Structure 1
Amino acid sequence: MPLDAFWLPLLIKMAVTAAFVIAATKAAERAGALVAGMIATLPIAAGPSYVFLAFEHDPTFIADSALASLVINAATGIMALVYAALAQRRGLVLSLGAALCVWFALAAVVRSAPWTTTGAIAFNIVVFAVCIGIGNRFGHVRMPPVRRRWYDVPLRAVLVGLLVAVVVELSHRLGPTMTGILAVFPIVVTSLMAILHPRIGGPATAAVIAHTISGLVGFSLCCLTARLLVVPLGMPLGLSIALAVSIAANMAIGMIRRALVAQR
């Protein structure tokens, strides 16, 4: 494969990814934690990963990967809750470190267990019902101004670009389950934790991350849509519908949460 065929799409994806993450940061400053959380949970990294994977694998592989992504996405909700709870009084290293340890431990469980679509849906319902209920207490913090540094864009672009490159290159060796897990590693959410926590403090960053939990529901619907549609409809249409579902779900969730806040 010519070098341009690999690097050009990757560089474009990195630039788009960086733009989305910066948009989430600006949203945290201007519109509050809720909007930032909704933006951060769009398929910014997973979307490009699945597009590249679609060129390398058949629809069955993509559907099986999407099932693993559906399950591990619920684990990301648990990770976000752990961080939000610890960040109220703890520093970045402990809060983020503990959250990542939880994610990797749950990833090991997901990899070893035989999952069905029904089981994955049930797991998501239980996890998000609990995590959203608990996480709501951390979401009501006024956002201070966010001071951006020159390296924010290239750092996050490189991190996500490397994640996608690793997932695509290793997918033939890892198989669909591990590929699906790595494809949705929460690189965007963790980068927000790492960058915002030292600048605006733990509680304010926790508010953004707490709102990502409900946004992750939209991403679970995206993974479920891909799981169900890529085989019968083909990968281009199936993945396109999955992306549309993610965007529509996050918009709806954001509007509902805004309405609930306004009623209080």
Structure 2
Amino acid sequence: MTLLLKLLLAPALVVGSSLAGRRWGARMTGVLVGLPIVAGPILLIACLDHGTRFGAAAASSALLGLLTLALFAVMFAWCARRVGWLGSLGIAWSACLIADLALARLTVPPVVGFVLVLAGMWAASRAMPPDGGPWDSRPVVAWPWWDLPGRAAATALLVVVVTSLAGALGPGMTGVLAPFPIASSVVAAFALAQRGPTETARLLRGVLAGLLGFASFCLLVSLLVVPLGTGAAFGIASAATLVIQLAWQWLLRRRPNGDGRARRR
């Protein structure tokens, strides 16, 4: 069952997010992959395999892992101007792994972790590069036939590798690694290779916009999974995440630049 979750659930969600992005734009893809479409199954597997107390501790640590997801978005967006997708992934992943190793040593209450994520979201949004520029002159190309199968295969491979390594490392490291930018890496690398740095930066801004719902999910799982059980906690957290994220996106549409300026009518 857990192997099927690793191989099917996250790749299906990444493919669905990619299709939504083709319909509604790169930012929407980023918002969707910024939700716990990979970390959610990892935390669920942790609860099923190791118990609810292990899962609660992992979900609490996952809040700190969201800080490295924000770091990934900033690093990849800036590197995309200078190097290709492989170099951008290498630099951004290296930064994330170093940050994860440091954060795994910390233990903070879930509410404190949630506040830190909010601060990290704000700081990362301010640090993102601007749209456009002389470095992004490539034409828009048609999506190749292998695009969606390639994204699904890459996601499945990365999920299996990360979860296999994280499972034996304890709840702290497992939790910090759960939000590791797996889905974000897949869609960002494909976007950079096919659409260029500007489209990639828009996608990664969407990832940052999705972190509020992601953080709410981890917070609720960490607080509810022990007293309510796995099914109830994950059900409540998933429903609350969707409501919170829809409300947050509605607010952001009224401030499209993310800087507090209202939309001109």
Shorter-chain TM-score range: 0.7 to 0.9
C-alpha contact 1:49 1:167 (8 A) present in aligned 2 = no
Partner of 1:34: 27
Tell me which amino acid in the other structure corresponds to 1:258: R
C-alpha contact 1:52 1:168 (8 A) present in aligned 2 = no
C-alpha contact 2:7 2:160 (8 A) present in aligned 1 = no
Structure 1 residues 157-216: Cα deviation after superposition (integer angstroms, max 9, x where no partner): 334334444555556521101111222221100001211111111111111112211211
Inter-partner Cα distance in structure 2 for 1:222 and 1:71: 13
Inter-partner Cα distance in structure 2 for 1:202 and 1:181: 28
Unaligned runs of 5+ in 1: none
Inter-partner Cα distance in structure 2 for 1:210 and 1:83: 11
Partner of 1:151: 146
Aligned CA RMSD, in angstroms, stands at 2.7
1:240 alignment partner, one of 229, 235, 240:
235
- The alpha-carbon distance between structure 1 residues 191 and 78, as it changes in their structure 2 partners (threshold 3 A), is same
Structure 1 residues 208-235: Cα deviation after superposition (integer angstroms, max 9, x where no partner): 1122112112101111111111111111
Inter-partner Cα distance in structure 2 for 1:166 and 1:96: 16
2:170 alignment partner, one of 165, 168, 175:
175
- The alpha-carbon distance between structure 1 residues 101 and 172, as it changes in their structure 2 partners (threshold 3 A), is closer
Inter-partner Cα distance in structure 1 for 2:75 and 2:83: 11
- The alpha-carbon distance between structure 1 residues 32 and 166, as it changes in their structure 2 partners (threshold 3 A), is closer
Inter-partner Cα distance in structure 1 for 2:249 and 2:141: 22
Structure 1 residues 117-166: Cα deviation after superposition (integer angstroms, max 9, x where no partner): 24313321321121123338449x9xx85633343334333343344445
Q: After TM superposition, list the pairs within 5 Å mapping 1:4-153 onto structure 2.
A: 5=1, 9-10=4-5, 14-135=7-128, 137-138=130-131, 147-153=142-148
Inter-partner Cα distance in structure 1 for 2:88 and 2:156: 25
Inter-partner Cα distance in structure 1 for 2:113 and 2:13: 28
Tell me which amino acid in the other structure corresponds to 2:42: S
Q: Structure 1 stretch 130-139 or stretch 200-209: which is displaced more?
A: 130-139
Q: Percent identity?
A: 31
Unaligned runs of 5+ in 2: 257-261
Question: Normalised by the size of structure 1, how large is the TM-score?
Answer: 0.84
Displacement, 1:20? 2.5
Structure 1 residues 88-124: Cα deviation after superposition (integer angstroms, max 9, x where no partner): 4443233322211111111011112233324313321
- The alpha-carbon distance between structure 1 residues 27 and 136, as it changes in their structure 2 partners (threshold 3 A), is farther
